[in-house]
Amino acid sequence: MITCFIRYEIDPLKKDAFAEYARNWGQAIPRNGADLIGYFAPHEGSATTAYGVYNIESLAAYEAYRSRLAADPLGRENYEFARRERFILKEDRIFLKNVSLPHAARVLP
C-alpha cells in the first residue's frame, strides 16, 4: 500500500471553490478505486496550502485508477471546474509508504 499526498497551492480568495472541488473528489475518488483519507483546506496559518491524501495498492493500480477517474463523469467535470475557475495555482504529488506500522493502540490520558 502507498499513500498519495497532493499538495496544492490555492488562491486564498477562492477557498470555497476548492472546498467544492474537494467534496466532488469525496464522491469520485472512492468509487474509482482509491481509499480517500481526505482533502484538507486552510483553517489556521497559511491561507494558500491545501492537501489531498489517499491510499492505493501500487503505482500500477494508481495508473488504472487515474484512467477510470478521467473517464468518470464527475471526475471529468471536476477537472474542468478546476481549469475553468483557476483556484489551483500549483499542484505537487508524492507517493509515500507508511513505515511506522504497526502502531500501538491509542491510550487516552
What pLDDT tens digit does each residue of the chain (109 aa) get? 999 999 999 999 999 999 999 999 999 999 999 999 999 999 988 899 999 999 999 999 999 999 999 999 999 999 999 999 999 999 999 999 999 999 999 999 8
Could you tell me the pTM of the whole model? 0.89
Quote the pLDDT of residue 46: 85
Rg (C-alpha) for the chain, rounded Å, is 15
C-alpha grid cell, residue 79: 477537472
Domains observed in the chain? 2-96 (3.30.70.100)
Quote the pLDDT of residue 41: 96
